[in-house]
Amino acid sequence: MAYVRKRIREIPDFPQPGVLFRDIMPLLADPKGFHIVLDAIAERFVGEHIDAVVGIESRGFIFGGALAARLNASFVAVRKSGKLPYRTDKVSYSLEYGEAELEMHRDSLKEGAHVLIVDDLLATGGTAHAAAELVDRQGAHVAAFAFVIELESLGGRAVLEPAPVVSILSYP
C-alpha cells in the first residue's frame, strides 16, 4: 500500500490548528491508486453475501458506488439531513462541535439484506455508527464497514464492533 499512501496529501492545521488533514483527492486523481484501493476492499468481500453497499456523504459515495458495481450489489446513499426528496429515516449523532443528522430513503434496503457501509475515513466512528443505525431500522444487517483511512488514536473501530472493520491505510 506504499503506492496508495504516497497519494494521501497531509495538510497541517486544517480545518483548525493542531489537526493534520489527510487529503484523498490526489488518490482519486490517480487511476492506478484508486483501482488499488477498490481492489483491496473488494477482495475482502469476494464470496461474502453483500446485497447493498451504503455510502456515506460525500466521499463514501465515490468509493461506495464503485464497490457496489464490483460486488454486484445495490448502492444506497446516506445523506446529510434535507438532501433526499422521498420519505426518509433520520438519525441524529454527535460531532466534536455539536449535533448532525443523517438520512436514508425508507425503501432503500430489503429486510434481512447484508450491507457493507463505506466511507473514506474512520475517526471517532460516530458517522458510521449513525449510518448503521439507519441500516438496522430497515431490518437489514451490517455485514461490515470499509474505510480507505483509519485514524487509530480516535478509537472509531471500537465504536463499530462487533461488526468487522476493514481499513486500507492506518495512521496512529
Asked if residue 61 belongs to a domain, the reply is: yes
Q: Is 59 a catalytic residue?
A: yes
- CB atoms under 10 Å from CB of 150, counted, come to 21
Whether 62 maps to a domain, the answer reads yes
Active site residue 150: no
Do the domain assignments include residue 12? no
Q: What is residue 71's predicted lDDT score, i.e. its pLDDT? A: 98
Q: In the prediction, which pLDDT does 95 show?
A: 78
**Residue 21 to residue 88: CA distance in whole angstroms:** 32
Q: Tell me if 134 is assigned to some domain.
A: yes
Task: State how far the alpha carbon of 155 is from the alpha carbons of 126, 137, 152, 162, in Å.
Answer: 10, 25, 6, 14
Per-residue pLDDT, 92: 96
Options 59, 70, 106, 137, the catalytic residue: 59
> Which CATH number fits the domain that encloses residue 111?
3.40.50.2020
Vertex 59 angle, CA 94 and 172, to 5°: 65
- Distance (Å, whole) CA 33 – CA 119: 17
- What's the whole-model pTM score? 0.96
Q: How many domains does the chain have?
A: 1
Report the helix count and the strand count for the chain, using DSSP H and E.
6, 9
The reply to whether 18 falls in a domain is no
Whole domain around residue 88: which residue ranges? 49-171
Selecting among 9, 44, 57, 96, the annotated active-site residue is 96
Each residue's pLDDT, cut to its tens digit, for the chain (172 residues) gives 999 999 999 999 999 999 999 999 999 999 999 999 999 999 999 999 999 999 999 999 999 999 999 999 999 999 999 999 999 999 999 876 779 999 999 999 999 999 999 999 999 999 999 999 999 999 999 999 999 999 999 999 999 999 999 999 999 9
In a domain, residue 132? The reply is yes
Q: Is residue 44 a part of any domain in this protein?
A: no
